Amino acid sequence: MPALALRVVTDKLSLLLAQRLATGAPAGLAADLGKALSRLCDTIAAQATGDQTDFVNLAIASWSRLVSLFRDGQLAANPGRYEAINHSTVQHVASDANAVAAGFGDLALVLSLLEHGLGVIWSLMPPAAVDISAGALVAKGVYPGAQERPVFVVQSARQALLLKKSGALNDNSIVIHGDEMWRLLSAGATGGGLSSPRGPRRPPGRSNRQQTIHVCMKPIVEGAADLDDLRRRFISEVTL
């Protein structure tokens, strides 16, 4: 049953990803990125050792946290409740206006690109804490001495601003946006507290601290020449 549930989520995300990439993206990306989603599904399923109940509970909590932060910019009132993409079949998900409008295609895009660097450039894990500042995921570079960084994936600037207002974001956070609204807002900001789309690094000095990094996916996708270029652009922005 857990394997079936993972497969349904993956298949729905793959279809929404294909629809997301139908315009404004190089041809042929959907198939390869869909395979990355399948690999991510297999990687998650491989963690289902020992108590299956514990695995299912963690999987539901992790997925629901990811979706709530992406869609709402806040944690769900009931973190143990499963957040469904939609309530129709896999075959009909791409024609579900609500699922499309919710930006699940962008979420699928980010997950597929994160999978590409998994184990090679970074590791990914669920947050160890329930506090919102712990992020949707925790990423850590594979190089010695790398620090763990909370990663938020959000639909647009609205969710990012809600996270900022709640105090969820700090100098160690990475926020990945589905669109480019944050970049557009930042370009016109005159002191409203908005950083650049990829927050400019502070001079390391002795603290080695840096500002929140904001990564906007829309210009990355539209500027990419092909799959390899898309991955390079993404990796260069999501610095760990």
pTM: 0.88
Query: Residue 162's pLDDT is what?
Result: 97
Query: Residue 196's pLDDT is what?
Result: 44
- Each residue's pLDDT tens digit in the chain (240 positions)? 677 788 899 999 999 999 999 988 888 899 999 999 999 999 999 888 877 888 888 999 999 999 999 999 999 888 888 898 988 889 889 888 999 999 999 999 999 999 999 999 999 999 999 999 999 999 999 999 999 999 999 999 999 999 999 999 999 999 999 999 999 998 754 333 344 444 444 443 334 556 899 999 999 999 999 999 999 999 999 987
Q: Minimal CA–CA distance to 169: which of 146, 150, 196?
A: 150
Cα separation, 111 vs 201, whole angstroms: 25
Residue 122 main-chain phi, psi, to 5 deg: -150, 165
Q: Minimal CA–CA distance to 157: which of 235, 220, 85, 217?
A: 217
Beta strands in the chain (DSSP E): 122-125, 137-141, 148-154, 174-177, 213-216
Cα separation, 5 vs 118, whole angstroms: 22
User: 152-168 burial by CB neighbour count: b if 16+ within 10 A, else e?
Assistant: bbbbbbebbbebbeeeb
Query: Residue 1's pLDDT is what?
Result: 63
pLDDT in tens, 163-193: 999 999 999 999 999 999 999 998 754 333 3
